[in-house]
Amino acid sequence: MRPLTAAAATAGALGAGAAAAAHIWARHVEIHRYTLREVELRILPPGARTRRVLHISDIHLMPRQPHKLAFLEHLATLNPHLVIDTGDNIASAASVPILAEALAPLLARPGAFVLGSNDLFAPHPKNPARYLLPDPRPAGITEPRDPTLPTGELVRRLTEFGWKDLTNTRASIELGGLEVRLVGVDDPHLERDEMPPRPDPEPPAPEHGNVLRVAVAHAPYRRVLDAFAADGADLMLAGHTHGGQLRLPGIGALVTNCDLPRRQARGASTWKGVPLNVSAGMGASPYSDYRLLTPPEATLLTLRAPRPLAHP
Ligand SMILES: [Fe+2]
């Protein structure tokens, strides 16, 4: 064998070995490395007490996922003041009661949610190369059709202790000294989003005067974020991207599965000056159950009032 051929063969073998190791890591190790991302934002009105908001997303729960259930149990110990769930909760009909049981301690707290496409339609195998297309959605996905999953039962279980369903609607939650005014839309990935009109006249300010406007969607398409910003949101929360699901060192996410810029595929950023948190989510489709350099996560947002001005 000539030296050049030997070197090429060695490089090829090393590359194949690295790819195999990355696959084993992504499929069997990182997919279980549940992480709590912590974000601090000074967006509360001056004088308002600090509040903790737990943002969960893209659980994609299947039966028999003990690591995921243990993480959900752990999240309840954080005692958040408010829970926001940005959808894609389940991946099978059998998951609904398991999800409701796992979420029970969080469902007992103030909360709100929107649904994602995977809360309506059972997953099926997809060609991963589709995600590199400008629009990765399969043909017909936006056509009106009935859910193939028990979405009604899922909504019943999510709302039975008081969580607000923000599907194309508004709601408010009083957190004792802070009124959270929420707006949400149905999944933009399915083009079911309809921005609810601003109430006219606006509801009167609460006696304590502290209002926080939070806008919630599953898939962070630009048109929706633009509408939320124009609506006066103080904070926007979304999921759907899975943080890119596969990230490469030095490059980051290759895709966002929507038109959000790749650099905003996960974590806190801003959109038109408004804080935006995109959760990388806790799971993935059972047909692509792997993650690379974007471990499954939930986010604990600590919201504070602005720092008092220093006296000279
Ligand atoms: Fe998802």
How high is the pLDDT of residue 7?
Answer: 74
CA of 212 to the centre of ligand 1 (A): 27
CA of 266 to the centre of ligand 1 (A): 13
Q: Over the Cα atoms of the chain, what is R_g?
A: 21
CA of 86 to the centre of ligand 1 (A): 9
CA of 85 to the centre of ligand 1 (A): 12
CA of 201 to the centre of ligand 1 (A): 36
Q: Confirm whether pTM is higher than 0.85.
A: yes
Q: Which domains does the chain have, with CATH numbers?
A: 36-137+146-303 (3.60.21.10)
Does residue 256 or residue 311 have the better pLDDT? 256
CA of 216 to the centre of ligand 1 (A): 15
CA of 114 to the centre of ligand 1 (A): 12
CA of 281 to the centre of ligand 1 (A): 7
For 157-212, write each residue's pLDDT tens digit.
999 999 999 999 999 999 999 999 999 999 999 999 999 999 999 999 999 999 99
Percent over 70 (pLDDT), the chain: 98
CA of 214 to the centre of ligand 1 (A): 21
Ligand 1 being an ion, which residues bring their Cβ within 5 A of it? Answer: 58, 88
For 54-94, write each residue's pLDDT tens digit.
999 999 999 999 999 999 999 999 999 999 999 999 999 99
CA of 131 to the centre of ligand 1 (A): 13
CA of 257 to the centre of ligand 1 (A): 10
